[in-house]
Chains A and B, each alone.
Chain A
Amino acid sequence: MWDGVLQGIFNGLASGWIYVLVALGLALVFSILGILQFAHGEIYMLGAYVVYYACVVGHIPFLLALLISALVMGVGGIILERVMFRRIRGEMEPAILAAIGLTLLFQTVAVIAFGGYTKFIPSVFPGVVKLGGVRLSKDRLFAVIMGLVLTSALFLVIKKTKVGKAMLAVSHDPEAAALQGINVNRISSLSMGIGSALAAIAGGLMGSILQLAPHMGTFAITKGIAVIILGGIGSISGAVLGGLILGLVDGLIPLYSSGTMAAIVGFCVIILVLLVRPKGLLGHD
């Protein structure tokens, strides 16, 4: 009955951090632009492919490739914000049109441009770490470390820097923030940029642990939305908590039931949270 539980916990926590990375970007965009950016999963996917092309075709070291991808997708996010999302801030219906349109566009382009021969990023840190009967691959450990580092970095930026405090102000009340002299448009662009960069890094990490596929974004966006709803929109610690809880559910429930049941349980938990406390476990706003 307890067989595999320890491994399951480790697996869960490790995957959880990748969910967190995806969710952070999504949460940022939602807090500041007020729209649920469905195409976030596609940015994750494109980020993974950028890392692939940089790393495998361009022979650039993995870490540098991650950075390049973050920059490229960050800029991409800023452009999207300028061209598309700025004018529909806070409005749900046009946001759906825009996000779904982008999703279809990116998926179609990805299939045509990248499709066919399946691509993967070779392991940067091959091998396993054995710890008391539990085995964790080194690239997953690396993903966990990246998750911790980036989350802490974001947290510090928001709490300590002027820009971060401006972002906090805009997420609470854009009009009041504007009255205080904060350039809401600039903050809006910056959030999309940072959010997209985070998604790109998550995609690159996932691409090296597993493999790339033009449709890998669907998985990311479903998990990302689940995490921020569970944890609470507008809260970084909420995203972390939500990500780890969902990761644990995915890691442990399959041991006692099936993978489908794990997904059902996970979603039911979220539905309950939404019914009882829509703001999420640690949300404010």
Chain B
Amino acid sequence: MKKKKLLVKVGVSFFALTLFATICLMGFTDESDAKTLKIGAVWGLTGPGSEIQIIMSQGEELCRDWINAKGGVTVKGEKYQIELITEDVKGTPDGAVTSANKLVHQDKVKFVTGLTVPFLAEAVASVTEPNKIAYWASTFDTMTPKNAYSVSAYTTYVSYKPIIYDYLQKTYPNLKKVAMTEILDPIVQRVAAVGREEIKKRGLTYVGNVQYPFGSQDYYNVLNKVLTYKPEILDINLEWPGGAGALAKQARELGFNGPIMGNSPWDPIFVRDKIGSKEYATDMFFPSFEAASAGADIPPMAKTIIKQWTDKHKTPCIIEVFRGWDPLYTLVQAIEAAQSLDPTDVIKTFEKMKTVDTSQGVSKIGGLKTYGHNHMTLQPCPLTRLNKGQIEFLGWNEIVVP
């Protein structure tokens, strides 16, 4: 009996010790190699919407491979290979805070990249800012001098609104009444609010909106209500890639024939195919270009990315790959311009840079007057239109954020 008790005690203690040791090991970090540069990345790899964020994180890894293949990051004569540490934020603010803490305190990175959802980016910033870690978010909306160490690598969707409304007024000068559909999501709400300002500024008439929860599968009920406002123009704001085509198709099915304006860079081929018929796939425009094919005036960097992606993954390259590529790409340019691995130097250098290369071409850097500091990458805005089932690329537009 005694021997058995001992055995059990040994067994349980062993199990407990293993658990404890594993926890302790989590606390160990490797001695950093002088020749590698550790950069953190935060993306929502599980949870709703993860299928797209996985692509973004793969886009970032593609960028890392491309930079490392060219020799890595050169600072003061030394070449550094990038070691990218990607963490899953699980789509929730607590996941974002935990992941950011791990990167900052355990992996001891000095630079973090990632995330397109402003609310989660703010959660990450709440950890990086006090620790003076530079955070290159894919999109960051609440830029203020308080986020001194946060940079937006992609113009927020808000900046697209004036360009889209310009095109609307130019092409459909006699239509005035605008209705909106909006997802109940922080960034979409911001975009819609800016849209309403544009409507007021331009003397158009705002007839109403309908809000709906993210992940709504069926738009018929949303559209039914919005169409009771008898709009001439429909602004569908931001939607996830699957939603845009479905919204347009269902709006047309319900009898809406006016122009439909979108705000996200959806793949035009996908949207057109989803809508299905030539009569329906018309009078719809949104800020995007065909990344899947190599047509229509694509910037050189975009061509490089498309080739890298299709060579490695053998699937169509979608615009989300660019969202993952840009934060790392622009960060590395800033580091090399600063010739320093200190986040403060890098941020200060970035603020003074006039332009930076991005997936969508050479972009200006702006935001000083609007946000209090120059932390916004102003990527040129593409515009595409569906016209009787044909995809027409309307060109690139400069974004101005003073």
Contact = CB atoms under 8 A, between A and B. Distances in A.
10 contacts: A115-B50, A116-B55, A122-B273, A135-B255, A211-B245, A215-B49, A251-B221, A255-B221, A259-B212, A259-B213
A115 B51 contact: yes
Contact of A259 (B52, B222, B227): B222
Contacts of B246: 120, 210-211
Given A116-B52, A116-B55, A211 B274 contact: yes
Interface residues of B, number: 42
Given A116-B54, A219-B215, A126 B225 contact: no
A135 B255 CA distance: 8
B54 A111 contact: yes
Contact of B227 (A4, A210, A258): A4
Contacts of A218: 48, 215
Contacts of A8: 221, 224
Contacts of B215: 215, 218-219
Contact of B242 (A114, A118, A126, A128): A118
Interchain residue pairs A-B with the least CB separation, the first 6: A115-B51, A211-B242, A3-B228, A118-B242, A259-B212, A4-B228
Given A120-B274, A128-B253, A258-B210, 13 more contacts: A4-B227, A7-B224, A116-B52, A135-B255, A211-B245, A214-B51, A215-B49, A251-B221, A254-B225, A255-B228, A259-B213, A260-B211, A263-B213
Nearest to A133: B255
Interface string B213-244: 10111101110110110000000000011110
Contacts of B218: 15, 209-210, 250
A95 interface: no
Contacts of A12: 221
B390 interface: no
B32 interface: no
Contact of B254 (A112, A135, A251, A258): A135
A116 B211 contact: no
B51 A111 contact: yes
Interface of A: 3-4, 7-8, 11-12, 14-15, 108, 111-112, 114-118, 120, 122-123, 126-128, 135, 137, 206, 209-216, 218-219, 250-251, 254-255, 258-260, 262-263
Contact of A250 (B221, B277, B315): B221
B46 interface: yes
Contact of A126 (B46, B213, B228, B276): B276
Interface of B: 46, 48-52, 54-55, 184, 210-213, 215-218, 220-222, 224-225, 227-228, 240-243, 245-246, 250, 253-255, 270, 273-274, 276-277, 315-316, 318
A30 to B, nearest CB: 23
Contacts of A111: 46, 50-51, 54
B267 to A, nearest CB: 8
A219 B241 CA distance: 18
A137 B280 CA distance: 13
A259 B274 contact: no
Nearest to A209: B218
Nearest to A8: B224
A258 B184 CA distance: 11
Contacts of A258: 210-212
A210 B217 contact: yes
A135 B250 CA distance: 10
Given A116-B52, A116-B315, A211-B242, A254 B222 contact: yes
Contacts of B224: 4, 7-8, 11, 251, 254-255
A218 B227 CA distance: 28
A126 B221 contact: no
B228 A219 contact: no
A156 to B, nearest CB: 30
A259 B273 contact: no
Nearest to A252: B221
A108 B54 CA distance: 12
Contacts of B52: 115-116
Given A116-B315, A126-B276, A254-B222, A213 B216 contact: no
